[in-house]
């Protein structure tokens, strides 16, 4: 029970969106590789917050669980997953 509560606290302390630097740490790749993957459409589409480019943490986790498909394929998968949640 205490472990579950600690996990919930840890999740609420995590930011909802991560920078390229934070994403590189999450994925274990160099920062330059994040920008390369993004420019070639191999990462989920980032969002702009003010002048910052960020990636939604929950989307990155879902993308990883689907074996890191290319952006175009990920968009289709994401729509399918979202449709399944709406129908439930």
Q: What is the pLDDT of residue 81?
A: 84
Which residues have C-beta within 8 Å of that of residue 35, sequence separation ≥ 6?
20
Under the banding of pLDDT at 50, 70 and 90, the label for residue 1 is low
- Domain residues for the domain of 34 are 15-87
- Residue 2 reports pLDDT greater than 70: no
Task: Give 27-75 pLDDT, tens digit per residue.
Answer: 999 999 999 999 999 999 999 999 999 999 999 999 999 999 999 999 9
Confirm whether 3 is domain-assigned.
Answer: no
Taking the C-alpha atoms of residue 23 and residue 61, their distance in angstroms, rounded to an integer, is: 11
Using a cut of 0.75, tell me whether the model's pTM lies above it: yes
- Residue 11 reports pLDDT greater than 80: no
CATH of the domain at 79: 1.10.10
Tally the domains of the chain: 1
Confirm whether 5 is domain-assigned.
Answer: no
Taking the C-alpha atoms of residue 21 and residue 13, their distance in angstroms, rounded to an integer, is: 18
Confirm whether 7 is domain-assigned.
Answer: no
């Amino acid at each position: 029970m205490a472990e579950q509560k600690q996990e919930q606290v840890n999740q609420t302390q995590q930011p909802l969106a991560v920078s390229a630097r934070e994403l590189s740490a999450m994925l274990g790749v160099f920062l330059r590789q994040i920008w390369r993957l993004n420019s070639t459409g191999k990462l989920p589409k980032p969002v702009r917050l003010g002048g910052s480019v960020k990636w939604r943490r929950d989307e990155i986790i879902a993308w990883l669980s689907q074996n890191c498909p290319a952006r175009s394929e990920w968009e289709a998968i994401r729509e399918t997953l979202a449709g399944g949640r709406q129908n439930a």
